[in-house]
Amino acid sequence: MTERLVLPQGEILRDFLAQAAIGRSDLRKIVRRRGIFLRSDDKGETIPSLVRTGLTPTEFQFLLSLLEKNEDNPKFSSQIIQDANDITSLSEAVDDHCNFSSVLDTSFKNYRMSGTPMVVAVDGNPNVIEMAFKIVRRDYSKSFTKIDAEFEGKVFASKNPTTNEINIISTHTSKETRKICDEIASEFISGLKIAGVVANDAKAVSVRFSDFSSEGRFKFLQSLASDKSSKFIKFQAIGDVGFKPNSQTDKPLELAWLEDNLSSVRFRGVGLEKLRLLSQEAHHAHIETYRIEADYEFSFDAINGTCTITFDFPDYSQSGDVNSELVITIADIQIFETDAVQLKAKQPSKTISEKIRSALDFSKAKLHKQYSRKALGRTENKTPEPTN
Tell which residue, 18, 29, 78, 89, has the closest CA to residue 357: 78
Of the two residues 61 and 133, the one the predictor is more confident about is: 133
* Residues facing 295 on adjacent strands: 237, 308
User: Residue 288's closest CA among 213, 208, 207, 364?
Assistant: 213
The per-residue pLDDT for range 308-354, each reduced to its tens digit, is 999 999 999 888 899 999 999 998 888 886 655 555 545 566 788 88
Q: What is the mean pLDDT of the segment spanning 265-272?
A: 88
pTM (predicted TM-score): 0.77
Q: Per DSSP, what are the bridge partners of residue 155?
A: 131, 170
Each residue's pLDDT tens digit, 163-179? 899 999 999 988 889 99
The answer, yes or no, to whether residue 64 has pLDDT greater than 80, is no
User: Which has the higher per-residue pLDDT, 97 or 335?
Assistant: 97
Query: Which pLDDT value is given to residue 68?
Result: 53
Beta strands in the chain (DSSP E): 75-81, 111-113, 119-122, 125-138, 148-160, 165-172, 233-245, 265-268, 287-300, 303-312, 327-335
CA-to-CA separations, 67 to 16, 49, 142, 365, in angstroms, rounded: 10, 21, 11, 34
Distance CA 62, CA 156 (A): 33
Segments in 111-253 forming alpha helices (H):
175-194, 214-225
The pLDDT score that the predictor gives to residue 380 is 45
pLDDT score at 348 = 60
Kindly tell me if the per-residue pLDDT of 388 is higher than 70.
no
Residue 155: per-residue pLDDT: 97
Q: Give 152's contacts (C-beta < 8 A, 6+ positions apart).
A: 70, 74, 132, 133, 134, 171, 173, 177
Dist CA 26 CA 244 (whole Å): 31
Q: Would you state the pLDDT for residue 243?
A: 94
